[in-house]
A and B are shown apart, each in its own frame.
Chain A
Amino acid sequence: MNAAFGFLALVLHLGLMLAAAPILIGAIRKLKARLLARTGPPIIQPWRDLAKLAQKQPVLAENASWLFSAAPAAAFAATLAAAALVPSFALGMTTAPASDLLVIGGLLALARVILALAGMDVGTAFGGIGSSREMMYASFAEPALVLVIFTLALLAGGTNLDAIAGLLVGGSQGLRVSLALALLAILALALVENGRIPIDNPATHLELTMVHEAMVLEYSGRHLALIEAAAALKLLVWLGLIAAIFAPFGIAPAGAPPVAWLIGLGAWVGKIAVLGVALSAFETSIAKMRVFRVPEFLGIAILFAMLAVVFLFVSQGFA
């Protein structure tokens, strides 16, 4: 029975993630527009864009290889696999035993590397500049991510996300300085990984100021639809990850009846909404930074994460 529930929860979870990801992008855009006193496009505009792009044939560069055509689907699949591992409304999904935080980080890295390779495939300067900068950001983001995972593993005794969320939802750990520091670090990471302001600007029209968008500049048609859907899904995965770790309340525990899922769903929507509003407000109030300031920004994230670990060492007297 539990196995059947777990599988049902997984299917519903994936459906929810896929449906909600473009809506989240639309909602953030709408809110940012309202904050700037513009009307903004409707919230379902990203879905309309995807539907329109899906009906357009891609225009490939003359020397584009099979890798260029296969990359959007592969990157989307890797992001989808990561999404299957991050719980939203219920713990104990079929994928729960495999939902290791390092694996989730690895799957997101896989998607990033695939797109970075595709950026180099046509051999244009914009693709190269985007790929090289994306990989530099990743180099500084990875240590911060691993240190956040280190903190959580010290608290929960393992790196399994499902187990960590299950433990933290019990509240036995209480409020901890380490968790607060780790939260700061992971928020900075989420901004970098998703190419949000102040790191990168997904909405700019000046290619030189872009990183992620420069990397995928040559894409069009259904390929572009997949890439945009993957980017939206990745943002939702990151927000879901933050919610599952740092605000796990309300989530249905493993083996709970489907009624508890409704509470979990409500809580999840609320958490994502709060994070989305915070993201919109933050993006509206800050300017984009220079490319070579980003390592410093991430250096602060690494510092916070390292402080989180060291605080744990000192406070728990781990020995």
Chain B
Amino acid sequence: MTALFLPAMAALVSALLALAVASAVAADANRAHLAAMGSLGICGLGVILSTGFLLTGGQADGLTIGVGLPGMPLHLVLDGLSGAFLVLLMLAGVAASAAALDDHGAYRATAPFFPAFIAGMALTLLAGDGFALLLGFEVMSIASFALVLTDHRTPEVRSAALLYIGVATVGAVCLVAALGLLSFGGDFSFAVIRAHPPEGWRATAIMVLTLIGAGSKAGLVPLHVWLPPAHAAAPGHVSALMSGAMTKIALYVLIRLMFDLCGPGQPIWWGAPLVILGAVGAVLGGLRANMEADIKTVLASSTVEHIGLIAVGLGVALAARSADLTGLAALAFGGALLHAMAHALFKSLLFLAAGATQHAAGTRRLDRLGGLIARMPKTTVMVLIGAAGLSALPPTGGFAGEWSLMQAVIAAPRIGGLGWQILMCVAAAMMALAAALAASAAVRLIGVAWLGRPRSPRAAGATDPGRPMLAALAGLAGLSIAVGLFPGAVLGLLAPAIGFATGAGPGAHAGAFMIAAQTDQPGYAAPAIAVVLGLAGAAVFFAIRRWTVAGERRAPAWDCGFGAPPAWLPFGDPATQYGGASFAQPLRRALGTSLMAAREKVDMPDPGDLRPASLTVTLADPSAAYLFAPSGRLRDRLAEYADRMQLLTIRSTLAVMFIALLVFLIAIAGLQHL
């Protein structure tokens, strides 16, 4: 029975690839529907299969397929770790496919890439050797690049996609190098690599290359710059899959390489880079989510924040495992997985809702939206559920995840010396700052886009999306609530993955009703908190009924006595509401000036001058300013040098080629002696 899971999953991947081909050759009108419907069915099967696999214990299973490079068959492996991420991927896939059914004819051109995208991610998870992993990873990159380009007539979309594919290429090069360094005697299969873990400088090089290769895709600083524009540029259901699933697939690659293939014998400080990058990314992402003016860019920035938090958990788990603190490693790793699961659900939900809103209101800009709570009531309820998770408020899954991660960091000082302890203390402060920034960003996003009064006629005419989209939103909202109420059960489901990566036995930190930092101590009892909240709410409700006067009156807003706007300014009035830029102002001044080089320029005309006054705000992501811009300049300069080669005389050209050949041969000779 258990041996059937892997062949079945492999069959699903092939079915997705076949579906991609089928929808590519299908008639124009049916294409999008076919791709979405097919993906929906296949991902639904995938959810059942992967959940079943985890519930039956997650025994590792291997399979060799005779396709691939000459003499190198593809190895597929399904174990606890890939099973856990498959559940996450397939759930996000079901929701995104259901949402894609509600396509209003806009996704037709790139529809075949949608199943290919899911297939690439699934292949990455099932890979049992370096080549299969890279193949899946690259299919995922290229398919998502094409999907980002769906609306390719807009210049911003094109530049976002170009930046994305550029960073993806850098990441791929690093991953190829990392897997090359990992390979043992030319064998790339994970089983062989695992038996011969790398040591010394090779291990360090692999770690750095993995951090760049997988980290760039996950949105880890400093290579996160591509993520907000690219995730925002893609259609809603694709952004949901990119933010909800693809970032987690990248984290899976990171876990596979750093936890599994490099072996448990690595030094404790291996955890530090992940903790540092994660904590910095969490704060930067959270802050940026408070500054952006586009609802999907806000959500994508918050993805950077949450990936940072997960990375902190992974770093603590890695260090704890090296220090032989299995229990702490399991706590940190479980927290990271739980948060990844919760994030996949609520972020997919929010991106789908953002896509629906964009279609309904014709814009994603905060300063053109508003008042959607009265016009898209069902969507708004779902968005509130998702945003509660994003803000890590109890009793949501986001809170359960961040609670476990925080507990892990609080328990982590016993891993190392004073330097590590101070790092943990600073990381805890930065995680708390990030969580609070996320809450602020959520209030800003909902307060400006969904509450208040509409700022444009299109926003005033918005309506709830069609039934497939609402079903997808409701399903994700229900799952988010379930994860929030029963985080212990989710950790139980993920136990094979936690055991695989940390060597901990099942159930160390979770009962069905309580997750705990230590087995003998009380922890976070999500159902109990929900019951307390519910009882308090019921008590307040009955107290209101019993002791206060019923009914209410409607009147113009008090607003400290400001009068209604004149009749000739029907849309001048909504502009007096607090907007996204005004809500961001306190944080922009307090943190933005130092962290994001925020500058405000007020252009005030002289008295008597009739031109309008203006306020210009500029922001720069430090990574864009200090890493991407200089490397862009370096590339230009190198291109200039390379250009000169075209003007060389024939003799110099021949000499250059000869020298190049010589260097190449010397390098090969040197490498063979190594």
Contacts and interface: CB of A to CB of B under 8 A. Distances in A.
Interface of A: 54-67, 69, 73-74, 76-78, 80-81, 84-85, 95-98, 100, 102-103, 106-107, 109-110, 113, 116-117, 119-129, 131-133, 135-136, 138-143, 145-147, 149-150, 153-154, 157-160, 162-163, 207, 217-218, 221-222, 225-226, 291-292, 295, 302, 305-306, 309-310, 313-314, 318-319
Interface string B398-442: 010001001100110110111001100110111111011101101
Contacts of B422: 310, 313
Contact of A65 (B374, B403, B562): B374
Contact of B553 (A60, A84, A107, A138): A60
Contact of A222 (B430, B436, B514, B544): B544
Nearest to B576: A125
A96 B440 CA distance: 30
Contact of A139 (B426, B433, B521, B560): B433
Contacts of B547: 54
B556 A146 contact: no
Interface of B: 370-371, 373-374, 384, 388, 391-394, 399, 403, 406-407, 410-411, 413-414, 416-418, 421-422, 425-426, 428-433, 435-437, 439-440, 442-444, 446-448, 451-453, 514, 517-518, 521-525, 528-529, 532-533, 536-537, 539-541, 544, 547-560, 562, 574, 576-578, 582-587, 589-591
The residue in A62, A135, A207, A318 that gathers the most chain B C-beta atoms within 10 A of its C-beta is: A135
Given A140-B436, A162-B522, 4 more contacts: A55-B549, A124-B562, A142-B432, A207-B560
B560 A126 contact: yes
A143 B433 contact: yes
Contacts of A64: 557
B288 to A, nearest CB: 13
A106 B410 contact: no
A158 to B, nearest CB: 5
A103 B394 contact: yes
Contact of B428 (A55, A98, A110, A147): A147
Contact of A62 (B384, B414, B555, B578): B555
A159 B536 contact: no
A127 B430 contact: no
B467 to A, nearest CB: 23
A1 B403 CA distance: 32
Contacts of A222: 544, 548-549
A306 B425 contact: yes
A196 to B, nearest CB: 19
Chain A at the B interface: SS class: helix
A201 to B, nearest CB: 16
A74 B558 CA distance: 23
Given A57-B552, A124-B559, A73 B540 contact: yes
Nearest to A121: B451
B582 A57 contact: no
Contacts of A77: 533, 536-537, 539-540
Contacts of A85: 532
A292 B555 contact: no
Contacts of B550: 57
B451 A65 contact: yes
A138 B439 contact: yes
A66 B403 CA distance: 30
Contacts of B528: 95, 97-98
Contacts of A63: 371, 374, 452-453, 557
B443 to A, nearest CB: 5
A150 to B, nearest CB: 5
Contacts of B413: 154, 313, 318
A120 B517 contact: no
A295 B590 contact: yes
Nearest to A128: B578
Contact of B439 (A65, A109, A158): A109
9 A-B pairs closest in CB distance: A128-B578, A120-B447, A123-B452, A146-B432, A61-B557, A142-B436, A135-B440, A136-B586, A222-B548
